[in-house]
Amino acid sequence: MSLMNSQDNSFAPRKRIQKCAGIPRSFLVEVDDPDRKGVMMDSSGKYVIPVMDAEAYAIVKKEKPPFSPQHEPSSPSSSSSDPVPAALLCRICKDLLTDAVMIPCCSTSSCDE
């Protein structure tokens, strides 16, 4: 008997169809193709797919190829185009404060040089 099963294609295993228990009928869309991705069978024997799944399968995600150069979108908060606030500039060297110290006589900040 097993020899006949291996030669006869009518004994090929079929795809198991999931039953849609607990999903309201208003959330289901009837489909004709039982081989469609995400298909289920309702209590009346019709093939259905959830509305949310049908919308998700309709939108195809575009995959980026691996190791491709990524282009960063230009943002308005770029550090090179933003001016440095005057409170963070040294009054002596006119550069960004490094190791800032407070001068007690005039209460201003400057670099520790």
Q: How far is CA 86 from the centre of its chain?
A: 40
Domain with 112, as residue range(s), is: 85-113
Considering the domain boundaries, does residue 47 fall inside one?
yes
If you average pLDDT over residues 6-21, what whole number do you get? 74
84's CB contacts (< 8 A; 6+ apart) are: 96
Considering the domain boundaries, does residue 80 fall inside one?
no
What's the number of domains the chain is made of?
Answer: 2
- For residues 54 and 90, state if they share a domain: no
Considering the domain boundaries, does residue 75 fall inside one?
no
Q: What is the pLDDT of residue 93?
A: 87
Q: Supply the mean pLDDT for the chain.
A: 79
Q: What is the 8-class DSSP label of residue 12?
A: P
Q: What is the pLDDT of residue 95?
A: 86
Considering the domain boundaries, does residue 69 fall inside one?
no
Per residue in 57-67, pLDDT tens?
A: 778 777 878 88
If you average pLDDT over residues 2-12, what whole number do you get? 63
If you average pLDDT over residues 60-84, what whole number do you get? 69
Per residue in 31-53, pLDDT tens?
A: 998 888 889 999 898 999 999 88
Considering the domain boundaries, does residue 2 fall inside one?
no
- The span from the CA of 43 to the CA of 19, in Å, is 8
- The span from the CA of 102 to the CA of 109, in Å, is 5
- For residues 54 and 89, state if they share a domain: no
Considering the domain boundaries, does residue 77 fall inside one?
no
